[in-house]
A and B are shown apart, each in its own frame.
Chain A
Amino acid sequence: MGKAIVITSGKGGVGKTTTTANIGAGLAALGQQVALIDADIGLRNLDLFMGLENRVVYHLVDVVEGRASWKKAIIRDKRFENLVLLPSAQVRDKDSVTPEQMKELVTEMKQEFDFVLVDCPAGIERGFKNAIAGADQALMVVNPEVSSVRDADRVIGLLEADGISDIKLIVNRLRPSMVKRGEMLAIKDIVDLLAVKLIGVVPEDEGIVISSNRGEPIALTQSAKAGLAFQNISRRLLGEEVPFVEWHDNDTFFGRLKKLFGME
């Protein structure tokens, strides 16, 4: 029996879908059987990040309403045969799925996969309640920025009220040079404020935009900083002790200088 993990944040635009795609690819690269569920009903996007948008036939609402079985609706990844996606619907009626139905679906899929990752929509309404319904564990994606941290705190409270106590933090889009200048919340500040255990830090990386343009998760690119960060998170999810990397950017004066002299 596998584990269901919801990827959530409260605030929109912090990188939930990117995180879901990349941890999914990361876990699959490590040989795990992985299913991704896009629970953002009405705004389908996870298929784009995976480069699978042309193969969507059935979706989550079809499955819940019995028009297709989940086995029929899932799309197998191009790169890994042990990675599948259950896409979201683009119907307007967001209330077409209930938390009970989601729980049933996730529980069933857990029988066949090591990991079922649920990409949660932004907000704390029905879509959020659906996405967390079957989860054993939650990954909170947060940006080093006041509104994101505040929303994350709210969501942590809601998760705990719902009985999900295994919550881990991913700090996404960190800009080390700003932290160094004292102009951005540091990892320690965020961990202290939210009092949740850290599982990963992903630095801001233009490679993310490029990888989403291409529909290729960056976790498959060894050389990319963000790719390495997502691989490390995947390994930590499997219980491996992976030391946290100290990120540096090259956009500081000395960074550029070092690069110029080939010191970096």
Chain B
Amino acid sequence: MFDLRRLWGGKRGSREQAKERLQLILIHDRSSLSPELLDLIKQRILSVLNEFVEIDEQGLAIDLEQTEETSALITNIPIKAVRRNVRA
């Protein structure tokens, strides 16, 4: 039907809004990692690092930080000691 609001340059149709919101939501949804996957990543990091250093496994934290433009894995790995028998 004839929409006067649009003729006077008022509100846009909600279709455009829906599309723009979905574009952002889907980018965000697609880049997020499940807790299971984060856990798996944590285990793999641990097993690699364990060859070289002794790690405080309880203190290890890994998180996904997301802004509108970027995603980053932020991790804090407390080291107890460096293994002496490791050769470079």
Contacts and interface: CB of A to CB of B under 8 A. Distances in A.
Interface in B17-49: 18-19, 21-23, 25-26, 29-30
A149 B26 CA distance: 9
25 contacts: A146-B18, A149-B22, A150-B22, A154-B29, A157-B30, A179-B15, A181-B1, A181-B3, A181-B13, A182-B3, A182-B6, A182-B14, A182-B15, A183-B14, A183-B15, A184-B14, A185-B15, A185-B19, A185-B22, A189-B15, A189-B19, A193-B19, A193-B22, A193-B26, A252-B1
B69 interface: no
Which 8 residue pairs of A and B lie closest in terms of their CB atoms, listed nearest first? Answer: A182-B13, A182-B15, A189-B19, A183-B14, A153-B26, A185-B18, A146-B18, A183-B13
A261 interface: no
Given A193-B19, A253-B1, A153 B14 contact: no
Chain A: interface residue count, which band? 10 to 19
A252 B3 CA distance: 12
B68 interface: no
A186 interface: yes
A183 B12 CA distance: 9
Interface residues of B, number: 18
B2 interface: yes
A177 interface: yes
A252 B26 CA distance: 33
Interface of B: 1-3, 6, 12-16, 18-19, 21-23, 25-26, 29-30
A182 B5 CA distance: 12
Contacts of B18: 145-146, 184-185, 189
A153 B1 contact: no
A183 B13 CA distance: 5
A184 B15 contact: yes
A214 to B, nearest CB: 33
Contacts, number: 50
A182 B22 contact: no
A154 B2 CA distance: 36
A181 B23 CA distance: 21
Interface in A141-166: 145-146, 149-150, 153-154, 157
A149 B25 CA distance: 10
A145 B22 CA distance: 10
A150 B29 contact: yes
A153 B19 CA distance: 14
Nearest to A189: B19
A253 to B, nearest CB: 6
A177 B1 contact: yes
Contacts of B1: 177, 181, 252-253
A52 to B, nearest CB: 38
Given A146-B21, A177-B1, A193-B23, A182 B29 contact: no
Nearest to B21: A146
Contacts of A193: 19, 22-23, 26
A186 B2 CA distance: 18
Contacts of A149: 22, 26
Contact of B15 (A153, A157, A177, A186): A186
